[in-house]
Structure 1
Amino acid sequence: MAAWARGSTNWWSPHPVELDPMYARYRSRLSRANLARYLATQPALDARVFAGGAGACLSFRNTNIGTYPMHAGYTPESQECRSCLLQDTAHALKWNGFSGVLVYWLACFAAAGWPIARSVPGGRRRAFGLVGLALIGCTVVQYTTAVYGEGDEVTKHLSPALFAAALAPVWLVAGAFQQRRARPVVVAPRRASSLLWRTTASLR
């Protein structure tokens, strides 16, 4: 099981674990609980698996499955492109690997935290910041669960994370253009009573 875990294979690999002659013997032991206990004792492997998900995430979609039927007249494994801008951007950033993904996450968290900390409750700037924070938070959660919990279709299940990550800066930029709401002025009780006395005296 340890050798299989280190092998980083999946169903689409040239030699998947499921076709290993010894797989039937150890299949009952390959439970999520056993794998979780094993990974808990292998921090280096945990980090490698987590960082390795960046390649699948920035791939955007599987390249070994085509969109069209076999006799549709297209080149085998041809794919229809409906989100070309996002797909091309993800492919262009693929050379950065996990370091680029991590920097992007941290930048979005910082950009979302700034309007939340600097705006008043109920303001639009804070609302946009909270939405951006929720989007990038969903991205990290989806990335983590897909990388550690999905062994066959990691790329497909990372697409929602990529869409959420793409929407986060849109909300954050839109929030930056919202008019800043002034903080309410709180008047001290003694000063308020003095101001009331002066106003009353001037009206006499």
Structure 2
Amino acid sequence: MKLEAPDRQLGAEARLGIGVFGASLALFVVRFLVPRPIAMSNNGDGGRVLCGAGITWKGLPEPFVHLAYAPTPSAPCRPTYLLTQSWLADLAVRIGRLMGLQGTLSLVVLGLLSSVIAAAAVTAIVLGLPHPRRTRLFVAAGLLLVVADSAFFGYFAAILGEGTAFLGLLLAVGGLLLTAREGRWSYAGMAVTFAGGVLAVNAKVQTLTILPILAVAILLVRPGTLRGARRWASAVLVIGAIGAVTLYAQQSVEPARAPDGTYSEFPGDDSREINVFNSIFLNIVDGRHDTQADLAELGLPPSFAQYAGNGWWHPHPARIDPLYPGYRDRMSRGNVVAYFAHHPGRTLEVLDRAATDQLTARPDYLGSFDQEAGFPPHAQEHRVPVVSWLTSLISPLGLFALAPLWLLVLSRTWVQRRGPLGVVLAFLLAVSLTQFGTAALGDGIEGVKHQSVALFALLTALTLCGLRRLTGRQQPTVP
């Protein structure tokens, strides 16, 4: 029996999807396990992810990776805010029980699970692109280079929050593109967008700002052939579902106890004062500018000049000063925002330093190997260094290198503004810019690590920007 054109098209799409998923997964598994497993070592915050997976762990920053975290007889804990990496870690624990691991979290299982999701996300993007097969395969290759890059891939098998942010962004992009296709593809796209949105928004407190940006993108993407009330109802349903899951998940955690002893239901409030403190004493009162003038502007006493450049965990921080409790109210986001608003030159200086951090791509203190691998502390793998090597080359230029990349994505967004690809590019650019600003001005430490989500979003957008060159003036061929 001769297949009708729609059936042939569906069969071709199915073969393309299966092929891309299988090839991507195989490459990710080899990249992860050969010659031995790799991850990212704990920077000291990993206890949150483990706690969400039912494992109590109170460890300091570690130079090596623990490939397995076993349950301990200590009292059970509840995380003070949710990281969706905990969900994947919990699932990995459950899978491990089927393998006889007795509740142990195996980072090998976690890494394989993340690899499956990453391969599915790449496949969703490829199937969502309305372009010829050859073009889509080129995009798939570019995405594989970004995802598998040494600056990002290790987070998938780590007890850190960035991994699910990357996975969620990829799924959200694939879901938005699929939503714009006709028929069942559109409904599949909504489901994928929902899954990606939940993962990305709840990956870290820093990524909660992705929710309103994704909501706008969902409203702007036209769901296949749906029109009128059905179109808006479907968009509102997806947005509402992401918001409801986020609200439920973030309210189900332990109330946060801030350093001043107060409690709050808001996620991340246990570290709010710490973040603001670091922003003030590392970004503003840093010892390299007019310290007394900066202290006066912030409403802090002149004697705090002795703490210039000393962060929260420094051996001699301002928080141990007898005067500090009387000035704790000055450790507020509003105070920091007001300072930066009135000092554009200093703000630009901080942003330029943050741009260098972002393009550096990889912090040097997160090791890749377990201790039994025989490498020195903090040793890092460089199996796929292409993208991060290129960005690190231009990192000394700071904003002079980063701003042109933003403008390139913006120009491609304008060209594609009438289609779903334009919405996706705008979404990724907005995520990159907001994550950049939040990490740059909201916390003065771990700048390279905190910029990783912004860089991943930008590089994904740049990969999709290459579509115009690959397709020239060709018209889309996939309905």
- The reply to whether TM is greater than 0.5 is yes
* C-alpha distance in 2 between matches for 1:129 and 1:72: 45
Is 1:51 the equivalent of 2:347? Answer: no
Aligned residue for 1:78?
379
Query: Quick one: which amino acid aligns to residue 134 of structure 1?
Result: F
Query: 1:58 & 1:174 partners in 2: Cα distance?
Result: 23
Letter in 2 for 1:165: L
Is 1:37 the counterpart of 2:331? The answer is no
Paired residue for 2:460, among 144, 167, 171?
167
Equivalent position to 1:89, from 390, 394, 412: 390
Say if 1:155 and 1:24 are closer, same or farther in 2 by CA, change over 3 A: same
Question: What residue number does 1:22 align with?
Answer: 318
Distance 1:8 1:82 in 2: 39
AA matched with 1:67? S
Alpha-carbon distance in 2 for matches of 1:21, 1:64: 22
Within 5 A, what are the aligned runs for 1:4-19?
5-7=284-286, 16-18=310-312, 19=314
Output one character per residue of 1:99-157: Cα deviation in whole Å (capped at 9) or x when no partner.
110011112101220232xxxx5xxxx22222122212211111111111123232112
Deviations 1:66-116 (CA, angstroms, capped at 9, x unpaired): 223455410232113465222111112213221110011112101220232
Q: Select the structure of larger CA radius of gyration.
A: 1
The aligned amino acid for 2:403 is L
Structure 2's unaligned 5+ residue stretches are: 1-276, 289-308
Partners of 1:108 and 1:169 within 8 A in 2: yes
Provide, for residues 29-48 of structure 1, a one-character-per-residue CA deviation record: whole Å limited to 9, x for no partner. Answer: 32222222222222211111
Q: 1:133 — aligned with what?
A: 426
Distance 2:394 2:444 in 1: 24
Amino acid at match of 1:150: D
Q: Which amino acid aligns with 2:445?
A: D
2:416 match: secondary structure: helix
- Residues 151, 83 of structure 1: alpha-carbon distance in 2 compared, 3 angstrom cutoff: farther
Higher relative contact order (CA 8 A, sep 6+): 1
Identity, in percent, stands at: 24
- Contact persistence 2:281–2:310 (CA under 8 A): no
Paired residues of 1:50 and 1:144 also in contact (CA < 8 A): yes
- CA contact 2:425–2:461 (8 Å) conserved in 1: yes
- Aligned counterpart, 1:151: 444
Partner secondary structure for residue 410 of structure 2: helix
Q: Which residue of 2 aligns with 1:201?
A: none
How much does 1:175 deviate? 4.7
CA contact (8 A) 1:64 1:77 kept: yes
CA deviations on 1:145-187 (whole Å, 9 max, x unpaired) are 1111123232112111111111112222225527447xxxxxx
Once the two structures are superposed, residues 13-32 of structure 1 have per-residue CA deviations (whole angstroms, 9 ceiling, x without a partner) of xx633333533333623222
Question: TM-score normalized by structure 1?
Answer: 0.70
Match of 1:67 among 363, 368, 386: 368
1:108 aligned partner, one-letter code: V
- RMSD across aligned C-alpha pairs, in angstroms? 2.8
2:361–2:452 CA contact under 8 A, matched in 1:
yes
User: Runs of at least 4 residues of structure 1 off by over 4 A?
Assistant: 1-4
Q: For residue 398 of structure 2, give the secondary structure of its aligned residue in structure 1.
A: helix
Distance 1:159 1:101 in 2: 14
Letter in 2 for 1:45: R
Which residue of the partner structure matches residue 185 of structure 1? none
31-40 or 41-50, which moves further after superposition? Answer: 31-40
Aligned residue type for 1:16: N
Give the structure-2-normalised TM-score. 0.32
Q: Please, which runs of 5 or more residues in structure 1 have no aligned partner?
A: 10-14, 182-204
